[in-house]
Structure 1
């Protein structure tokens, strides 16, 4: 029978220590996992303190803390300031918590501004491209091709620096995840701009790294903030050079040079996430021109050419890209040649290029129109690129409720930061906004009401 203390809900440190044969961090985590799986330690049970168990096992507190961190990552325990460390239950699949919590407001909402997905009417048609790709030579060969010759020939001329290695992957987020996973060991540090994409934060937390935030302004990561982050010796720095989500900034050549000067004396891997690629209205400024041996650019084509292509291209530092290739060999091995060559066909097709050019202009206009409407109502959003607006609000929960009451769902800004934010924001997707001026003005009235807590002048007149 489980030996608990007098309060009846806490595992005794001595009892637990007797059931741990291997006192390493991995052994402690494995032993407790077995006890949770077989029901010997049940949900809502309090675990002994880190120091208490370490004393019984005659190991360092750091060893037990590392085991607790592994259990926490798999959703088995939670640390509560008042109750201590609590068992939640058997291991669960790590989930993208920030991303999954965005915009679940029920079926009655009429306007969904949560996900920055492309407008299907602005995507190039796939039929002829798929037919051309499906008739290519070399299909159904188990040779693991990192990138097809056609796709490399299509993307290489527009790459901002000479890439030393290439790889096609299943989307931009997969590319960034695999780079981080193959660069950092659990517990190591990765610097990333803040605010940043919610999924990027989910990715870093899932692989167990320590996140070092780098504050940003209109021109990207602030040099002083990156300088402070680099003192922690991160193994990688992840940032979005343009079309940044959620803030919409784009890194200028001057800012890039300042950041490069700080990175010069380090060995930090530079990961550039070009999430909207050819839909960006800003020129691509890459630090790969200065550090080609330790910069990797991940460019996604999902929003510009079609989400179902599931294609991003990774080009840059040979060692970093090769590590990703090796890790992928355990699973998918390579990205479908049909999908790669479909994208290659679209990139070379005059009609598809015209469609993407038109989409870029429409998206920029929709974003600018809503920003102007909000500015006229006293809500200034900032940013100049991307498919979203970063909207300052007086109170995030109240703003979300107000918008939901009007049938509008948006993403809470708190999902895009690592810790408590100094100010409240909402993230609004703008790619599929209405083009009707009256409808857009009415939408801006409600957003301004939610942001300020009072009716805007245009709505009162």
Structure 2
């Protein structure tokens, strides 16, 4: 495409005007997919504007999936605007009837979840239903969760799951172009969320005790508006932040104004104690605790508790749409949390999940495949080459998640993420599974096999 041709069709030479004009041309089919656009500099010259103005327009079009830029081809048209998609989260694979063992999705074992019938009946009979009052959290649910909250929360809100909580906190804290620091590797959906809201992701390396202080110090020099991390049961690595490491991180965060977002994704299923920086910074820490894996995915509930202003911003944003989380679902969770038998069932599930994870970890260690981490519902398995390992496992009817989904850019080493919550409890079957995983992991690690 000639820059002069495009410039003639742009009525308003601003970033918004350029983006709008090109969007119309793409929607109408006048500009088709794979069309190479003029360079930023040449179009800016034709329009008599700065290169930064055109670059801003290109950035907006790129965010909506209409154009793509690479070094060899320049900037090309992909097609009409589309809803941003969680690419990492959706890149799981569909194996059809060949799939025998699914280790890709870290979902709870239905046999270990508490029954919901009695709790739903109790909640459906509660007073105050069918009222349009926007209740951020019901009194029963707050009374159930507050005693175990690791720090005094000034604001409370029930939301539709842990990822919604993290997304809304990031969305209401950061403007497009702002920086957010996050562990690497981290949950694939967290990376999708941050990319979708248009922030710059600043990676923080981790070890067995959590985020590495030196790496966080480097990240903080970029002045991120928020630091998002998982204090325990970290996915995909399985580490938990120790009290000593938390103190080191807090010392680095103390002179900043960075919002601290703690994502407690497995909550009561974690075998590690909760160490929260909210005990030091209650006015700028928010804990997001999910109950989906411990008490049932269909409850769709997580609790946000912490800094009042951050929680209030989320409440305001939600008021444009859903407004509040169903009081029936909130009080169902409250009933479950207060039931002694349910507490015993969740404690049993925690033990079972920990055992399944530990047994596969041990089997792989015996075969020379280290996995690290001691908490969570997944294992982070090093492999020689990701694609080859995926093919090997697929050939044996085993689906796993590619490690590349959990990092920001190309990684120096390759990994697979294995979900462990639904592993077999049969020792022989587990040994056979470990053999196949080892075969996939090695794939030439010592010269090939």
2-structure distance, mates of 1:147, 1:363 = 30
Give secondary structure in 2 for the equivalent of 1:330: coil
Q: Counterparts of 1:276 and 1:332 in 2: how far apart (Å)? A: 25
1:12 Cα deviation from its structure 2 partner = 1.5
Find the counterpart in structure 1 of residue 96 from structure 2: 106
Q: Residue 237 of structure 2: which of 229, 247, 251 is its match? A: 247
Instruction: Give the total of aligned pairs.
Output: 447
Q: Supply the distance in 2 between the matched residues of 1:55 and 1:295 (Cα, whole angstroms).
A: 47
1:201 — aligned with what?
191
Q: Does 1:275 align with 2:265?
A: yes
Match of 2:129 in 1: 139
Structure 2 Cα separation of the partners of residues 320 and 62 of structure 1: 32
**Alpha-carbon distance between aligned partners in 1 of 2:146 and 2:51, rounded to the nearest angstrom:** 51
| Residue 454 of structure 1: how far off its partner (Å) | 6.3
Q: State how far apart, in whole Å, the 2-side matches of 1:25 and 1:216 are.
A: 39
Superposition CA RMSD, Å: 1.3
Q: Would you say 1:192 and 2:182 are equivalent positions?
A: yes
1:366 aligns with 2:366: no
Q: Which residue of 1 aligns with 2:24?
A: 34
Alpha carbons 2:384, 2:444 under 8 Å: kept: no
Return structure 1 stretches of 4+ with deviation > 3 angstroms: none
Match of 1:148 in 2: 138
Which of 333, 336, 349 does residue 326 from structure 2 map onto? Answer: 336
Q: Does 1:445 align with 2:445?
A: no
2:9 maps to 19
Indicate which of 424, 428, 435 corresponds to 1:434.
Answer: 424
CA distance in 2, matches of 1:288, 1:103: 39
Given candidates 322, 340, 343, the residue that maps to 1:350 is: 340
Q: Which residue of 2 aligns with 1:323?
A: 313
Aligned to 1:119: 109
Which of 179, 200, 206 does residue 216 from structure 1 map onto? 206
Match of 1:232 among 201, 222, 225: 222
Equivalent residue for 1:5? none
State which of 269, 273, 281 in structure 2 corresponds to 1:291: 281
- Distance (Å, rounded) in 1 between the aligned partners of 2:53 and 2:199: 17
Check the 8 A contact 1:145/1:334 in 2, yes or no. Answer: yes
Residue in structure 2 matched with residue 91 of structure 1 by the alignment: 81
Question: What secondary structure does 2:203 align onto?
Answer: strand
Alignment of 1:385-396 (within 5 A): 385-396=375-386
Normalising by structure 2, we get a TM-score of 0.98
Hey, what's the Cα distance between the residues in 1 that align with 2:300 and 2:164?
A: 10
Report the 3-state secondary structure (helix = DSSP H, G, I; strand = E; otherwise coil) of the residue aligned with 1:107: helix
Question: Does the CA-based 8 Å contact 1:236-1:270 persist in structure 2?
Answer: yes
* Cα separation, 2, equivalents of 1:248 and 1:404: 24
Shift of 1:455: 11
2:385–2:414 Cα contact (<8 Å) kept: yes
Q: Deviations over 1:317-371 (max 9, x none)?
A: 1111111100001100000000000000000001111110000000000000000
Structure 1: gaps of 5 or more residues? 1-10
Q: Which moved more, 1:61-70 or 1:324-333?
A: 61-70
Q: Which moved more, 1:164-173 or 1:31-40?
A: 31-40
TM-score by length of 1: 0.95
Contact 1:116 1:429 (C-alpha < 8 Å) held by counterparts: yes
Instruction: Give ranges in structure 2 of 5+ residues lacking alignment.
Output: none
Q: Distance in 1 between matches of 2:76 and 2:178?
A: 25
**Once the two structures are superposed, what CA deviation does each residue of 1:219-247 show, in whole Å capped at 9, x if it has no partner?**
11000000111111111100000000000
